C-alpha cells in the first residue's frame, strides 16, 4: 500500500489522473533541492538558458548512443515568439552541437535570421511544428531513433508498470500505430500529434520514441528514462513467463509513484545531473561564447 500523499490530491478525469505541476513533492532532505527549475523576467535570458540546455541535451543523447545518421531531432518553443521554435541543423552530429548551431524556424518552415542559417530535417519539421501547434502546453519535444526505443516500438504496445521508475509513464504514454513511412509530410506530423492526445510520451510504432515537456530538460529526461525502460521491458519479456511470470505494479501504487515523480519541476531537476556531467566532460564547449 502506498503512503498517503501529504498534499492535495489531483483531480481524476475521464482520461485518468491529472498530476501536480508545482513540484510539491520534494525528494530532498536536509535542505532544498540544489536544482530548481528557474524562472525568468528577461525573455532573452530565458532563451539563452533554453538553447544552452538544448545543446547539452544533444551532447547527452550522443553520449548515450541515440544518434542514427541524420535522424533524430529536438525542438524548443521560442519564449519570445511562441509561434516559432528552435531545432537542430541537418547533418550535424549530436555530439558536436553547440547553442549557436540551433536553427530558429517559423511554423511555416521559414528559417529566421537570428539563428543558424542551416537546413533542417524535413521530417523533424513536420513532426515538431505539428506538435507545437497542437499542444500549447508543450515547450519542447525530443525524438530519436534510439536502439531500445526502436526495438520496443515494433510491438506497438505501451510500457508495462513492472518497476518503480517506469511508473513515471503511468497514464502518461500513448502509442501511435499508423506508421506512414518517413514523416516528410505534415499530415503525418498532425497524426502523431493527435495520437499523443494530452500525454507527454509516445511510442511511435516501428519508428521510435517521442517525449515532450514544459522544458527541454523535462523532455530530455523523459526520453532517457523511456529508452531505458524499453530496454528493461525487453529484458523482462525475454524471460520465460511460465517459469517467472511478471508482477505488474497495481494501479494505486503506480498512480502514487507517478504523482510524486512526474511533475515538470521534478523532471527538470532529474536531468541536471546529466547536464552538469556533460558540462564538465565538454568543458562548456556547447555554451554560447562569453
pLDDT in tens, 49-91: 999 999 999 999 999 999 999 999 999 999 999 999 999 999 9
- Residue 121: pLDDT band (50, 70, 90) is very high
Domain annotation covers residue 77: yes
Domain annotation covers residue 15: no
Domain annotation covers residue 244: yes
Please give the tally of structural domains in the chain.
1
Domain annotation covers residue 110: yes
Domain annotation covers residue 4: no
User: How far is the C-alpha of 169 from the C-alpha of 160, rounded, in Å?
Assistant: 9
Domain annotation covers residue 102: yes
186: containing domain: 36-282
Tell whether the model's pLDDT for residue 141 goes beyond 50.
Answer: yes
3-class SS letters over 125-145:
HHHHHHHHHHCCCCCEEEEEC
Yes or no: say if 75 and 124 are a contact pair by the CB < 8 Å rule.
Answer: yes
Domain annotation covers residue 123: yes
- Residue 202: pLDDT band (50, 70, 90) is very high
Q: What is the pTM of this model?
A: 0.90
CATH number of domain containing 251? 3.40.225.10
User: How far is the C-alpha of 166 from the C-alpha of 204, rounded, in Å?
Assistant: 18
Q: Of 24, 21, 96, 32, give the one whose Cα is nearest residue 58.
A: 96
In the numeric block, the cell 536502439 is attached to 147
Domain annotation covers residue 1: no
pLDDT at 184: 56
Q: Of 269, 244, 220, give the one whose Cα is nearest residue 58.
A: 220
pLDDT at 186: 63
86-106 per-position pLDDT tens digit: 999 999 999 999 999 999 999
Amino acid at each position: 500500500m502506498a503512503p498517503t500523499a501529504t498534499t492535495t490530491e489531483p483531480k481524476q478525469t475521464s482520461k485518468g489522473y491529472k498530476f501536480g505541476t508545482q513540484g510539491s513533492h520534494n525528494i530532498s532532505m536536509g535542505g532544498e533541492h540544489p536544482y530548481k527549475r528557474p524562472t525568468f523576467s528577461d525573455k532573452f535570458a530565458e532563451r539563452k538558458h533554453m538553447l544552452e540546455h538544448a545543446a547539452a541535451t544533444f551532447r547527452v543523447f550522443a553520449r548515450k548512443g541515440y544518434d542514427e545518421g541524420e535522424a533524430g531531432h529536438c525542438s524548443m518553443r521560442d519564449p519570445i515568439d511562441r509561434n516559432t521554435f528552435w531545432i537542430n541543423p541537418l547533418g550535424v552530429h549530436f555530439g558536436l552541437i553547440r547553442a549557436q548551431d540551433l536553427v530558429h524556424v517559423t511554423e511555416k518552415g521559414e528559417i529566421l535570421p537570428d539563428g543558424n542559417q542551416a537546413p533542417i530535417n524535413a521530417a523533424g519539421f513536420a513532426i515538431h511544428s505539428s506538435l507545437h501547434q497542437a499542444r500549447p502546453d508543450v515547450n519542447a519535444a525530443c525524438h530519436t531513433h534510439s536502439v531500445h526505443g526502436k526495438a520496443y516500438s515494433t510491438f506497438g504496445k505501451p510500457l508495462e508498470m513492472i518497476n518503480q521508475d517506469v511508473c513515471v509513464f503511468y497514464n502518461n504514454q500513448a502509442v501511435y500505430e499508423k506508421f506512414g513511412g518517413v514523416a516528410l509530410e505534415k499530415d503525418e506530423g498532425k497524426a502523431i500529434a493527435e495520437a499523443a492526445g494530452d500525454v507527454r510520451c509516445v511510442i511511435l510504432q516501428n519508428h521510435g520514441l517521442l517525449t515532450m515537456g514544459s522544458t527541454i530538460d523535462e523532455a530530455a529526461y523523459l526520453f532517457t528514462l523511456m529508452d531505458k525502460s524499453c530496454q528493461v521491458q525487453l529484458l523482462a519479456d525475454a524471460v520465460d513467463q511460465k517459469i517467472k511470470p511478471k508482477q505488474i505494479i497495481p494501479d494505486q501504487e503506480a498512480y502514487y509513484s507517478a504523482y510524486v515523480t512526474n511533475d515538470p519541476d521534478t523532471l527538470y531537476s532529474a536531468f541536471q545531473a546529466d547536464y552538469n556531467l556533460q558540462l564538465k566532460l565538454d568543458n562548456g564547449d556547447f555554451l554560447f561564447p562569453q
